[in-house]
Chains A and B, each alone.
Chain A
Amino acid sequence: MAGSLIKIDEEIVTSSVASFTLGGSDWDSSYDVYMVAMNNVQLDTDTKNIQYQFTASNTPQTTANYDYASKNLRANTGFANESNTNLTFLYINSSTGTGTATGETTQAILYLFNFNNSSEYSFVTKEELARDYNGALRGGQGGGVYTVAEAHNGIHFFTNAGNIASGTFTLYGLKK
């Protein structure tokens, strides 16, 4: 169906920044499901990964209530499972991190569920593809949950060292 993705917010990073929030004061609570598209994202430090937290009332939620599970698909070796519980953040790339050379970028799609429902946990599914700091291609399929029943109004992105050097992050609502 045409016109089913309604653009809500976008951040285009062209100069290094340590963090930013998609949604927040720009959040539109009229959707059940949201999608975040990440295109050509690159960090300025090798081996690091893109991390994120849900925001509630514009504030990143930092308590140790994030659980995640992911299948990491690696072009240069076998596939691997990755999971953990009670973290203070979720992340996009596998914990081995991404790269800074030409073409070592991350592309990803996140779907956000239950963000407007204060009596349910918020979930995120992740589908990503990146070239890591060795130039190896890595896919990832999985997701996470924040195990506190509360409403959320955005995603706060940051990294575990250095900065987000470039990339386009776009938040859409899925039209009901």
Chain B
Amino acid sequence: MTLEELTVEATAEIEAAKPLYKQVNNERLEFTSADYDQAIIDLANSKWNDQQFGYIQARQEAYGSVQDQLDMQYWDSVNSTTTWADHIAQVKSDNPKPE
């Protein structure tokens, strides 16, 4: 999605979440229209960041530890299996890089 499309999505989400509040000197106040405008921009930017770079973190989460991957490679060499390559391919496939 483009940033403009994500902004439309963010606008709908902020509208649905209204009213939103901020805290000023420990007093809870409803957002001003400028606060709502900024919240939409911030949310759209956050969505853009997730869309463009979220797969990197997701892959890091999904990969086995280095120790586990070395163990997979050892047993692959002993048993002529493809456990390690299959694991890496699965993680990449489950968390595709955005086009």
Contacts and interface: CB of A to CB of B under 8 A. Distances in A.
Contacts of B17: 18, 162
A95 B50 contact: yes
Interface string B3-21: 0000000000100010011
The 7 A-B pairs with the shortest beta carbon distances in the complex, nearest first, are A78-B65, A20-B23, A160-B46, A18-B20, A88-B45, A80-B60, A17-B23
28 contacts: A13-B23, A15-B21, A16-B21, A17-B28, A18-B21, A19-B20, A19-B22, A19-B23, A26-B25, A62-B41, A77-B64, A78-B67, A80-B57, A82-B60, A84-B49, A84-B53, A88-B42, A88-B45, A88-B49, A89-B45, A95-B53, A95-B57, A96-B57, A158-B39, A160-B42, A160-B43, A162-B17, A163-B21
Contacts of B53: 84, 95
B61 interface: yes
A15 B28 contact: yes
A51 interface: yes
A88 B39 CA distance: 12
Contacts of A21: 24
B33 interface: no
A77 B23 contact: no
Nearest to B23: A20
Main SS at interface, chain B:
helix
Interface of B: 13, 17, 20-26, 28, 31, 35, 38-39, 41-43, 45-47, 49-50, 53-54, 57, 60-61, 63-67
Contact of A11 (B26, B38, B57): B26
A20 B24 contact: yes
Contacts of B26: 10-12
A60 interface: yes
A94 interface: yes
Contacts of A19: 20, 22-23, 35, 39
Given A20-B22, A84-B49, A96-B57, 7 more contacts: A11-B25, A17-B28, A18-B39, A62-B41, A77-B65, A81-B60, A87-B49
A15 B20 CA distance: 11
Nearest to A12: B26
A160 B33 CA distance: 18
Which of B22, B42, B65 has the most C-beta atoms of chain A within 10 angstroms of its own C-beta?
A: B42
Interface in A52-94: 60, 62, 64, 77-78, 80-82, 84, 87-89, 94
